[in-house]
Amino acid sequence: MTPDLRRWAAPLSITVALLVARVASVPAITDPTGAPLPTGVSLSTPWLHVIAAPLFTLWDGMSMLSMSRLEHCLLGFAGLYVLWRFIRWWQHRRVVRELGYAALAFVVSALFIVAGAIWHRPMVALTGVPGGMIAVDFHSHSNASHDVEGIMRNWDVQAVRRWHARAGFDAFFLTDHNTQNTNPRQIPPGAPYVCSGIEVSAWRAHVVLLGTSEVVDRGPYAQSLDGVLALLRDASAKFGAISIASIPEYERNHWDNLEAWVAAGLGGFEIVNASPKANGLSRVRRDSVIALAHRTDRIVVGVSDQHGWGATSMVWNLVSVSNGSPRSGDPCAAILGRLTSSGFQAVQVVERHRLRADSAWPTWLTAIGLVWETWRAMSWPLVVGWLAWIWLAAVAVRLGRSLVPTHGESSQLAV
């Protein structure tokens, strides 16, 4: 390899890898049950994402990782950086400079993580939803929930509503933990519509109740499995609600009890949950839950479980309703009616491609796997955005180095 070509080896290698990923491309969105998506349904990407493609696509990709994958991703990027800087130090032996680079890298990484968590930036949204259908989220939270109370002080119902609007939802269920933030009917009308619900912390289980505006006393349901079964029976009979089993609790603590849950009156299951702590359900177990739901005519849904962190929507639900246009008025009653009458066929889940917890990529290669799976699902405008930054960075580095005198040149100038 000639010296000139060697100087461009890094951007050339990254470009080739990106184009190979495009050859192995996958759909950006799919239905986890295997059903085809309606014609025209797609993702709408803001121009800011295209202009700063590496930044926004990595924010989205990391936001869609399970907690375990996220931890390994951060460690992986740190390890790659340390390896790169060690090689540079070995070549030049400039300790002070490397310490400066390390401090700068730490600051930049911290800013990247903090901005990704708290900046409610423009979002990739679902678009092209056919007439007669609406996009719904069945599980979301405001700052009334105990796990963000006092932390996300500005995350009120209207903030939750704005988040769902940017993501392309027509309606969402506000399901705070064991409490009701406000009566959604007191919120000004308009899309996305706010539907009533609550998430009940039962015995080693979380159960979302859709359609109730009551505050449910969790005490009787938090003592034993019998309490959970009682909650599932009471959901419809006492609270007039539809019960949905939430991930990860039902998988971790009640995997062998799901048949009993269904027999007690469970309305459905989450099969996708975008919260990092709940985003680890394997495809094998997910398919097992889908099979159980299909056999017993139960609902399956995907949920954001949004608590105010980040600005990435990973999953939507399409529901057919008689007044399918959000402009036709509040669809909450129609959504609940569809869930009650249609069972397994009531909802079509739409989830984004991502590096899954059970992906073939080893955990120690999560950082590389994240980039690869992100590339595979990108649209061509995002690919162009990535290529532009790869080569702009390469040219900037070359220009910067050409302006810095070499050691020999410095000696000659001194003479």
DSSP string, 271-305: EEE-SGGGTT--HHHHHHHHHHHHHHT-EEEEE--
Least confident of 2-11, 39-48, 250-259, 368-377: 2-11
β-pair type (193-202, 205-210):
antiparallel
In this prediction, residue 87 carries a pLDDT of: 72
β-pair type (268-273, 242-245):
parallel
In this prediction, residue 148 carries a pLDDT of: 60
State the architecture of 125-352 in CATH terms: Alpha-Beta Barrel (3.20)
In this prediction, residue 185 carries a pLDDT of: 57
In this prediction, residue 249 carries a pLDDT of: 97
Higher pLDDT pick, 325 / 360: 360
Show the tokens assigned to 383. Answer: 């690919």
SS3 318: strand
Report whether pLDDT(5) > 90. no
| Mean local confidence (pLDDT), 385-405 | 86
In this prediction, residue 385 carries a pLDDT of: 97
DSSP secondary-structure letter at 254?
-
Q: How far apart are CA 199 and CA 178, in angstroms?
A: 6
In this prediction, residue 328 carries a pLDDT of: 67
| Short-list 51, 50, 72, CA closest to 62 | 72
Report whether pLDDT(406) > 50. yes
In this prediction, residue 187 carries a pLDDT of: 74
> Using alpha carbons only, what angle is made at residue 162 by residues 373 and 31, rounded to the nearest 5 degrees?
35
In this prediction, residue 7 carries a pLDDT of: 76
Higher pLDDT pick, 91 / 150: 91
Q: How far apart are CA 335 and CA 323, in angstroms?
A: 10
In this prediction, residue 283 carries a pLDDT of: 97
In this prediction, residue 120 carries a pLDDT of: 87
| Short-list 205, 166, 186, CA closest to 174 | 186
pLDDT tens, position by position, 65-103:
999 999 988 888 888 878 877 776 676 767 777 777 778
Report whether pLDDT(257) > 50. yes
Least confident of 164-173, 217-226, 323-332: 323-332
Residue partners of 78: CB distance under 8 A and separation at least 6: 109
Average pLDDT, the chain: 90
| Cα–Cα distance list, 107 to 60, 97, 104, 110, 113 (Å) | 20, 16, 5, 5, 10
| Mean local confidence (pLDDT), 277-291 | 96
Peptide bond into 130 cis (omega under 30): no
In this prediction, residue 405 carries a pLDDT of: 59
Range(s) of the chain covered by CATH 3.20.20.140: 125-352
Q: Whole-prediction pTM value?
A: 0.90
Show the tokens assigned to 152. Answer: 């996300």
pLDDT tens, position by position, 152-187:
677 889 999 999 999 999 999 999 998 887 655 567
pLDDT above 90 covers what percent of the chain?
Answer: 69
Report whether pLDDT(327) > 60. no
In this prediction, residue 414 carries a pLDDT of: 41
> Using alpha carbons only, what angle is made at residue 92 by residues 89 and 96, rounded to the nearest 5 degrees?
65
In this prediction, residue 409 carries a pLDDT of: 46
Q: Is 165 exposed, middle or buried (0-12, 13-18, 19+ CB in 10 A)?
A: middle
- Specify the residue for token string 């996958």: 26
